Amino acid sequence: MHWDDLKVFLAVARGESLSAAGQRLKIDPATAGRRVQRLEEDLGAALFARSPQGYALTQAGQRLMDHAVRAEQAMAGAEAEISGQAGQLSGQIRLGAPDGVANFLLPQVCAAIVAENPDLEVQIVALPRVFNLSRREADMAVSVSRPTAGRLLVQKISDYRLHLAASDAHLAAHGPVERLEDLRGRRIIGYIPDMIFDKELDYLGEAGVERVSLASNSVAVQLQWIRQGAGVGIVHDFALPSAPGVRRILADQLSLQRSFYLVRHVDDARLERMQRFSTALAEGIRREVARLESVT
The domain locations on the chain are: 1-83, 160-256
- Average confidence (pLDDT) over 162-181: 94
Question: Regarding the domain delimited by 1-83, which CATH topology (the fold level of the hierarchy) does it fall under?
Answer: Arc Repressor Mutant, subunit A (1.10.10)
- Please state which of the ranges 95-109, 129-143, 201-215, 237-251 shows the lowest mean pLDDT: 129-143
Give the residue, 36 or 148, on which the prediction is more confident.
Answer: 36
Q: Which residue has the higher pLDDT, 139 or 134?
A: 139
Greater confidence (13 vs 200) lies with: 13
Residue 36 has pLDDT above 60, yes or no: yes
The reply to whether 1-83 and 160-256 are identical in fold is no
User: In this model, does residue 74 exceed pLDDT 60?
Assistant: yes
**Does residue 197 register a pLDDT over 70?**
yes
More confident residue, 216 or 80: 216
Please check the confidence at residue 135 and state whether its pLDDT lies above 60: no
**Distance between CA atoms of 163 and 238, rounded to whole angstroms?**
11
Beta pairing partners, 193: none
Strands, E assignment, the chain: 48-51, 54-57, 91-97, 120-126, 140-143, 152-167, 188-190, 214-215, 232-236, 246-248, 255-265
First to last CA, the chain: 57
Residue 167 identity: S
pTM above 0.85, yes or no: no
Q: Assess whether pLDDT exceeds 60 at residue 225.
A: yes
Provide the pLDDT for residue 277: 93
Average pLDDT over residues 236-265: 94
Residue 84 has pLDDT above 90, yes or no: no
Per CATH, the homologous superfamily of domain 160-256 is: Periplasmic binding protein-like II (3.40.190.10)
